[in-house]
């Protein structure tokens, strides 16, 4: 199975990047399944039904999220209605939505699990114990398992990868909007990258305009961030997975720059 996992889709800039670039990526890599994190897809925070439909039409099959998925009430409602969007599984059980799903791609079952870290993040349930519980409940025939851990600390994401090595096919981190150059296949067959990056403006400070962000650091005064920057990009990870064993066979980091004129 050929899988494409994409970092946080940021606002209209990120959505436009997907419109232009994702079909090309899917064709080039012959992708069977595309997963993207959408917690920042509507404006800066959250998601709406309209935005979700746009992302689906771009070619994203399953959407994961993180702490900002709760920022728009319409997005929270989607969690309880739609089967292709997840919230982190380690939120308390009585919140809307679900933290993992199982889909079938060309006759092969695939599980997608969404987790959230706790270091420098909201105090929620343990992601390590939560994923253990989910894995115990999965049927034995499900060999391909994809995990998005939405977390701030690189150490927490890397620890999760080693903890799950050999038990899942892929562990990728999201949240920081900055792609890491540590893509690899771990000893027991799990593909890993600490952070996928984002679909958004490359020439920016994690998707925000440079001037306002620099002034915030220089002056120590809280100023409103503005989304923007030059060179729309799609960042993520391509993984080729053995259907029979669920082990990763190949990984390739994705950084696709889009011609700005095409995004007008």
Report, as residue numbers or ranges, the catalytic residues: 68
Angular region, 11: left φ>0, alpha ψ -120 to 50, beta rest: left
DSSP string, 207-263: TB-HHHHHHHHHH-------B--EEEEEEEEEEEE-TTT--EEEEEEEEEE--GGGG
DSSP 165: B
63: phi > 0 → left, psi -120 to 50 → alpha, else beta; which? beta
Q: The tokens of 202 are what? A: 């490359």
Here the tokens at position 262 are: 């095409």
Q: Dihedral of CA 21/195/80/101: which sign?
A: positive
Tell me the angle at which helices 49-58 and 73-81 cross, rounded to the nearest 10 degrees.
Answer: 60
Q: In angstroms, rounded to a whole number, what is the distance separating the alpha carbons of residues 231 and 123?
A: 36
Closest CA to 189 of 257, 252, 248, 102: 248
Q: Tokens for 237, please give them.
A: 């990870």
């Amino acid at each position: 199975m050929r899988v494409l996992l994409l970092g946080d889709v940021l606002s209209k800039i990120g959505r436009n990047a997907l419109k232009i670039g994702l079909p090309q990526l899917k064709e080039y890599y012959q992708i069977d399944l595309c997963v993207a994190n959408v917690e920042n897809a509507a404006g800066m925070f959250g998601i709406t039904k309209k935005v979700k439909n746009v992302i689906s039409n771009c070619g994203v099959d399953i959407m994961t999220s993180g702490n900002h998925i709760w920022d728009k009430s319409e997005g929270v409602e989607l969690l309880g209605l739609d089967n292709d969007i997840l919230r982190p599984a380690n939120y308390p059980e009585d919140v809307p939505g679900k933290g993992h799903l199982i889909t079938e791609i060309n006759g092969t079952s695939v599980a997608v699990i969404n987790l959230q870290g706790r270091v420098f993040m909201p105090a929620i349930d343990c992601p390590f114990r939560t994923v253990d519980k989910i894995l115990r409940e999965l049927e034995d025939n499900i060999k391909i398992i994809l995990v998005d851990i939405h977390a701030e600390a690189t150490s927490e994401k890397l620890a999760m990868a080693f903890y799950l090595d050999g038990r899942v096919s892929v562990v990728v981190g999201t949240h920081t909007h900055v792609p890491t150059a540590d893509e690899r296949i771990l000893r027991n067959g799990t593909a890993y990258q600490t952070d996928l990056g984002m679909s958004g403006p490359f020439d920016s400070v994690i998707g925000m305009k440079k001037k306002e962000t620099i002034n915030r650091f220089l002056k120590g005064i809280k100023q409103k961030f503005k989304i923007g920057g030059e060179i729309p990009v799609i960042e993520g990870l391509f993984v080729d997975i053995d259907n029979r064993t669920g082990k990763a066979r190949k990984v390739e980091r994705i950084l696709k720059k889009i011609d700005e004129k095409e995004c007008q």
